[in-house]
Structure formats: C-alpha cells, structure tokens
Chains A and B, each alone.
Chain A
C-alpha cells in the first residue's frame, strides 16, 4: 500500500499549505495585496515553539499556543509599525513594503535565534501508528486535526462574530464597507493577527518534521502561496482545496517520479496555473 503512505504524507503537508494559503487570502481580502511577510510568520511559529518547549522546557501544547499568540502579536506589530505609516494605496509600494519587512523580520530572527538548524519536539511521541494499511506519524495526524479545527474556528469567526463579518464585507467591497462605516484600520489589524496565527500554527506543526532554521518558512510559505493560487487567489475554500491538492501531488510525485524535483513541482504548477487559468481551479 505504497500509495496510501503517500496520501497520508500528502494530506499532512497539504494541511500545512492550506493554513499558510489561508493566511495569504485573509490579508489579501483586507488589503488587496500579497503579503510576503506571511512567509516569516511560518518561521516565527517554529521559533516560538522552540523557545517555549526547548529553551524554557514547558509542555509542547503550550508551545503551540504560544506560537500562535506570539506570531499574531508580531503580525499586528508589523501592520501597525510598518504598513500603516505608508499611508498609500499604491499596491506596488505596499507589496514591495511587505517584501522589505519580510527581509527585516528574517534578519531579526537570525539575531534572536541564530542561523543553526534546530530540532523541535513533536506534540506526541514519535512512534508511527498503522492506519488504513500505512504507517503515519502522530504529528502528521495532529497537523490534519489541528488544521481542521483552525478552519472550523475561522468559519465561526467569519460567519459568527461582528469583526469577522466586517472583514468579509471589506473583502467583498472595500468602498461600500467604508461608506457604511466599517473601521478599515481595525479590519486590517485583525486580518494580520489572524494571518499571523495561521502562519504560526503552521510553523509550530511542521517544524518538528522538517527541522527548524531561519529560512524554513521561505520555501513553505511560497508553496502555501502556490496553493492559494491553485485554488483561486483570495478564495478560502480554494486555499484549502489547493493546499490539499498540492500536498498530495507533491507526495505522489516524490514517490513515483523523482524525489529530487519534489520541491520544484509546486512552482511549476504555480506558473502553469497563472499562465493558463489565472483564476485558479475553483475560480469562476
């Protein structure tokens, strides 16, 4: 049952890509721009987990929560201190600004945590469990379960809370939202916080498998973006579906074609989708 093995691995990674893709989509909805800092939110998630679980020796679940909260706080600081002062609606400037912030954040990570590769503990013991004829790491199961929980929480947030509804209003029509008096600043801040939490969770879940370094988020983040494009950029269901499709096709490609080019697949897909179906698989 080789293929089942690949499906499990693909679903686990796909869940991570979906989380990151959701982070991209949430900021895109609030501001209409691609937020490059999302990439570093993933790294930060892993780093906060390392500090709490390894350096401070506290329980790992606490570390995961700390990752989400910590990254969300950093994300809010980024919005307040770097993006808001720009006071421009020029998308070229704003996108470039997130590129610059992303580089600065990476520099800060280097300074605080150093440049070495680090090992991070998983949520529960390492012994694989046998499921549907294949061996699965418990951490992979945690990735899927916690991503599912995060998605449910997001659904509740966007459908059931006033702030979430305000964010959806801004995403669907910014001008109309401004006219009826929805506070754009609060929505942007909230979008960054939620996107940061998604990225932080993704980082805290995936780094026990990939090992942790200051650049770990770059590749993962770009794959998350590829997943978002695949599903149709800006669409939340599209982000989830895109993430899962990307994760599974990557795992299958690694298993049956060439493991050397596993990492390139996402980007080839990204370029092909942009070129031939820019609205994504789920887009109209």
Chain B
C-alpha cells in the first residue's frame, strides 16, 4: 500500500508538482494581501518569464547571451510607445513588440549562431548597448533618460488588470503555462536532444538534432518570452525608463540562469526569486549589489557549476540513497 502510494507520487511527480504550484498561486493572495509583497512576487513572475526563456536557450546551446535586456526593452518600449503615442490597444502593442523581438533575434541569430566560441556573448552585449543608446537618444518617442509614463494596464475579458491581486493571478497564470510548456519540452524527445546538444554539439548533430535551426529557434523563443515579460512590466507599472534595460540588467538575468542551473526549468524561478528577494533580506545586498551578484556568480561557477537546483536535487538523492542503504542493512 505504502509502496503503491510512493510509486503513484513518483510516476506522477510532474503533474503533482504543477497541481501544487497552481494551488499555491491560488491561495497566496488569501494569505497576504499586502500590496508590497504582491508587487514583489508579481515582479518575480514577470522576470521569471524572461529567465525561463533565457535558460532554455543557454542551457541547450551552451551559448551565453549578455543582451537579453534588449529584448525586454523591445517588449516594454514597444508596448509603451505603441499605446502612448500610437494609441493602440495594449494587447496589439504586446503582440507587435513580441514580433519585433522575434524578428530581431532572427536577424542577429542566423549569422552569429553559425560561429563557435563566444562571438554571440559579445554581439548580444553590443546589441544591448545599441538598444539602450537608442532609448536614451530618441527622446521624442521614448522620453529619453527620464522615461516614458502613462502606459495603460492590460485587460482580460473586460477586467482591467490594475491592482496587485488581479495582476497576481494573471502573471502567475501565464508563468505557470510557460513553465508547463518548458517542462514538457525538457522531458520530451526533442528535449533529450537539447540536453545532448548542450553537452556535445557534434554528438547531437550526428544523432539527428538540427543544430543551427534549433539554436535559432531557441533564441527566437527566448526573445519572445523576454519581450512579453517586458510588455507585462510596462503595463504593470505604467512607466518604463532606460535604466531598467541596461547591460547590467542583462548580466543579472544571466546570473539568475546560472544560479538556478543551466537547463533547469524550476531553477529559473528559483534564480529570479533569490536575486529579486535579496535586497528585501538585507540592505547590504542593495548597497553592495555588484559585490553580491558577482560574488554569487563566481561562487556558483567555482563550487556548483550545475546550479543550485541540481545541487539541491543531488543532495536529496544522496540522502535518499544513504537512507535506503541504512535500512537495507537493518
């Protein structure tokens, strides 16, 4: 009986995890209706969207992107400019911004992902600098350094998403959908191919993984997710400024990926949550932000390059194995 229960739980672990996650999302606003707390968790959800995409890309292709804040910016400013200056509806603006980001990723990705090594890291960084520069310079559209205000909130089925509780259900709902898709992908047959691609490009190619096409597709997917996150950001706060999309934000996104573990879907959320919540835990984390974030990155790479999520899982497996061994002899 007990064994059957264990077997049931284990064989349905993904489904059960999703159910638990959904339940937690549903219950959370009942536990706390503190707008400040909800604002924080909503931000975690929004940033996690971008981090999941970036993680799928970096974890599968072994390439570093240091410019994903540029895609966030395209989403945020795409939404902002099109609603404020062109008067489009928020959803149309969001869609247009996502298409723009996808197109941009395609144009940059097709030539650059042919190259081995770390050309892409520098090129994405360069793209981010250019995009940031455009945001600062084109002030008749973007508001320049002082930012762009008055962006209208999104609405779903006639409900305007303008308070933290409604936003909570919306952004966490979207994030859960994306997580579900990402988990599916990782566990599917193409996902196995991606795991091998990350470890060994030639090996994956010889087993039938279309390497270039997959890399470009994942870059485009991650760009779209980042753009959607950027749009949510803009419609949630009603205001965007260039500093939210500098290259330092890009490195933060990459740090979240490494912290959670490259290729680990749940790790993406963990990484985003830790980095966003750090300043809440201690003021020092904000004062010495570079120290802390850089230190986390260096420490993870030196001591647990597989990332926090896998380190936790391996620790747990080790504990289970020890427990089993102890009980087998007893």
Contact = CB atoms under 8 A, between A and B. Distances in A.
Q: Do A's and B's CB atoms come within 8 Å in the complex?
A: yes
A101 B298 contact: yes
B108 A271 contact: yes
Contacts of B117: 91
A174 to B, nearest CB: 15
B298 A95 contact: no
Interface string A81-113: 010011010111101110111111111101100
B297 A93 contact: no
A222 B255 CA distance: 20
B68 interface: no
B115 A274 contact: yes
Interface in B39-91: 62, 64, 66
A99 B118 contact: no
Interface of B: 62, 64, 66, 108, 111-112, 115, 117-119, 121-123, 125-127, 129-130, 133-134, 137, 247, 251, 254-255, 258, 288-298, 301-302, 305
Interface size class of A (residues with CB under 8 A): 35 or more
A103 B64 CA distance: 16
Contacts of B292: 107
A21 B302 CA distance: 27
A95 B118 contact: yes
B154 to A, nearest CB: 32
B164 to A, nearest CB: 31
B294 A96 contact: no
Contacts, number: 113
A213 B298 CA distance: 24
Given A85-B302, A218-B247, A103 B121 contact: no
B111 A33 contact: no
Contacts of A100: 255, 294-298, 301
A103 B126 contact: no
B298 A88 contact: no
Nearest to B117: A91
B121 A111 contact: no
A98 to B, nearest CB: 10
Nearest to B137: A260
Given A100-B297, A104-B295, A218-B247, A274 B123 contact: yes
Contact of B294 (A34, A101, A276): A101
Interface string A237-272: 000000000000000000000001101101110110
Contacts of A136: none
Contacts of A261: 133, 137
B133 A110 contact: no
Given A103-B297, A107-B294, A111-B291, A271 B133 contact: no
A261 B301 CA distance: 37
A207 B108 CA distance: 33
B60 to A, nearest CB: 12
Nearest to A101: B298
B199 to A, nearest CB: 10
A50 interface: no
A219 interface: yes
Contacts of A106: 290, 294
Contacts of B133: 261, 263-264
A34 B129 contact: no
A275 interface: yes
Contacts of B125: 222
Contacts of A92: 62, 64
A47 to B, nearest CB: 15
What are the 8 closest A-B residue pairs judged by CB atoms, nearest first? A103-B294, A107-B290, A100-B297, A104-B294, A267-B126, A275-B111, A107-B291, A100-B298
Given A110-B290, A267-B127, A274-B112, A96 B119 contact: no
A158 to B, nearest CB: 23
Contacts of A103: 251, 290, 293-294, 297
Contacts of A95: 64, 118, 121
B129 A264 contact: yes
Contacts of B134: 264
B234 to A, nearest CB: 23
B298 A82 contact: yes
Contact of B112 (A105, A260, A267, A275): A275
Contacts of A226: 126
B288 A111 contact: yes
A44 interface: no
Contacts of A111: 288, 291
Contacts of B137: 260-261
A103 B293 CA distance: 8
Given A104-B291, A276-B111, A222 B64 contact: no
A8 interface: no
Given A222-B126, A267-B127, A274-B111, A97 B291 contact: no
Contact of A93 (B121, B127, B290, B305): B305
A151 B289 CA distance: 37
A61 interface: no
Contacts of A105: 294
Given A88-B305, A274-B111, A229 B294 contact: no
A264 B111 contact: no
B301 A91 contact: no
Nearest to B198: A92
A105 B298 CA distance: 12
B112 A104 contact: no
A133 B115 CA distance: 45
A107 B288 CA distance: 7
Contact of B122 (A91, A108, A219, A229): A229
